[in-house]
Chain A
Amino acid sequence: MMENIFGFSISPSSAINMDKVDRALFEELCRVEPDAVRCMACGSCSATCPAAAFSGMSIRKVLLCLQRGKEKEAFRMMSNCMLCGKCTMVCPRGINTRRLVLSISRIYGKEDTK
């Protein structure tokens, strides 16, 4: 194998191309959880989440990932949720984030996205 003499390698683009994002499942989610789009990215949920520190779990990021077509990333985070509900307690928009985690699992779980 040829050595990488330049000290860098090519990695896949992490750019988001909104033209290619399929929004069907997220729209289905919004029908049962209309508050899913009301997040204002304040970060309270992640700051209080006991799973966040060691796993990177963040409801804010999960919602963002789902809307940007990064489902895999969202599931990786969500698998660490303990459903304790602390995030719901602090969300200033009153989003039932704990129930959201359950609804996401239910709706996205139907598809083989994992």
Chain B
Amino acid sequence: MKEIVVIIGGGIAGLEAASKLLDLGYSPIIVEKSGRLGGHVARWNRLFPDMTPAADIVSELTERTKGANIFLNTEISFINRLRDSYNIKLSNGISINTSYILFTTGFSLFEAEKKEEYGYGVYDQVITNGDLEQWFNTGEDHRISGKEIGHIGFVHCVGSRDEKARNSQCSKVCCITAIKQAIELKEKFPDAEIWCFYMDLRLFGKKFEDFYTKAQRDYGIHFIRGRVSEVSENIEGKVIVKAEDTLAGKPIKITLDLLVLMSGMVCSQDSTKTAGMLSLPVDSDGFLKSSDNVMHITSSPKNGIFYAGACTGPKTVPETLAEARSAVLEIHSHISRK
């Protein structure tokens, strides 16, 4: 009999894992709580560092998982631990018996309204990185389309590196995302002046630093080192941003037509809720805790349960895909050893 592997979460991690499990002759079952596959990447427009259309990646992965059993709009109702397997009851009434569960439950975007001083949901011209990707995809957003956009700001580290927001970790992808989105906005509004407010620029990945110098030199994007302390609105509906220009050692103020908040990656409640059914531990950053963060990032401390992708911490797309493949190999070695 073909070994069944239950994959919880149909984002890119879940899809890539399913496709590799199929290649190896196993029988993957994807349980996805939303109505579509692809997770967050299905909401993005073009991906750094090569501006690859996100839709292409999702459709390629979806194509490759055709042979898998996929349940959309489905959640895990409960999981019973048997002697050496798990009995999973789905919200659609189906129950599955399996020895292998792969968590690919991903992350949540930090809810920007929680940082009240930035005015998301209060001032009209304050949007998030997620909203902006959405606008790149649909072209529909009353805050951007048809408006005169002359001055744009980006706020880095929104809900990241912020102990008061209860996320002390760096979300890793938002510095490069801010630069990517700033370049894209400059292409749409060539006359706009764009300002990025950052604490540190963390551009760790392949070609990320090139993006930064390109943004500076070819697109004239300005960088101000200083965390935005407060945002207010003037009578014309423009937003006024205050920060300290820490390189100049002086307070700085600027009036903008659009302010984009770089919401961070935080652990999703759905992830921890389902992990809680198996009493899986959570790490100090709130994400699922691997059995070891160096050698065994894809293993949970429990037998037969594995992780891949952003459920264990902020990751880029290539990192997520690589982890999905690595988790599949881990599962494969377990099965082969039986």
The verdict on A37 contacting B217 (CB below 8 Å), with A16-B245, A19-B255, A68-B245 known, is yes
Q: Does B335 contact A (CB under 8 A)?
A: no
The verdict on A15 contacting B251 (CB below 8 Å), with A41-B225, A67-B222, A68-B245 known, is yes
Interface on chain B toward A: helix, strand, loop, or mixed SS?
strand
Tell me whether A37 and B252 are in contact (CB under 8 A).
Answer: no
The verdict on A19 contacting B254 (CB below 8 Å), with A64-B247, A67-B222 known, is yes
CB nearest to A14 among chain B residues? B250
Residues of A close to B245: CB separation below 8 A? 16, 64, 68
Chain A interface size range: 20 to 34
A residues with CB within 8 A of B = 14-19, 23, 30, 34-35, 37-38, 40-41, 60-61, 64-65, 67-68, 70, 93
Q: Does B130 contact A (CB under 8 A)?
A: no
The verdict on A15 contacting B253 (CB below 8 Å), with A41-B247, A64-B247, A64-B248 known, is yes
The verdict on A38 contacting B213 (CB below 8 Å), with A16-B245, A30-B220, A67-B222 known, is yes
CB nearest to B245 among chain A residues? A16
Q: How far is the CA of A40 from the CA of B216 in the complex (A)?
A: 10
Q: Out of B193, B217, B251, name the residue touching A16 (CB < 8 Å).
A: B251
Q: How far is the CA of A67 from the CA of B247 in the complex (A)?
A: 12
CB nearest to A36 among chain B residues? B217
Chain B: interface residue total (CB-CB under 8 A) = 19
Interface on chain A toward B: helix, strand, loop, or mixed SS?
helix
Q: How far is the CA of A67 from the CA of B216 in the complex (A)?
A: 13
Q: List 8 A-B contacts (CB under 8 A).
A: A15-B253, A16-B251, A37-B216, A38-B213, A38-B217, A40-B201, A41-B225, A67-B222
Which residues of B204-261 are within 8 A (CB) of A? 212-213, 216-217, 220, 222, 225, 245, 247-248, 250-255
B residues with CB within 8 A of A = 193, 195, 201, 212-213, 216-217, 220, 222, 225, 245, 247-248, 250-255
CB nearest to B218 among chain A residues? A34
Tell me whether A37 and B220 are in contact (CB under 8 A).
Answer: yes
Q: Out of B193, B213, B222, B225, name the residue touching A93 (CB < 8 Å).
A: B213
Tell me whether A16 and B216 are in contact (CB under 8 A).
Answer: no
Tell me whether A18 and B252 are in contact (CB under 8 A).
Answer: yes
Tell me whether A17 and B253 are in contact (CB under 8 A).
Answer: yes
Q: How far is the CA of A43 from the CA of B172 in the complex (A)?
A: 25
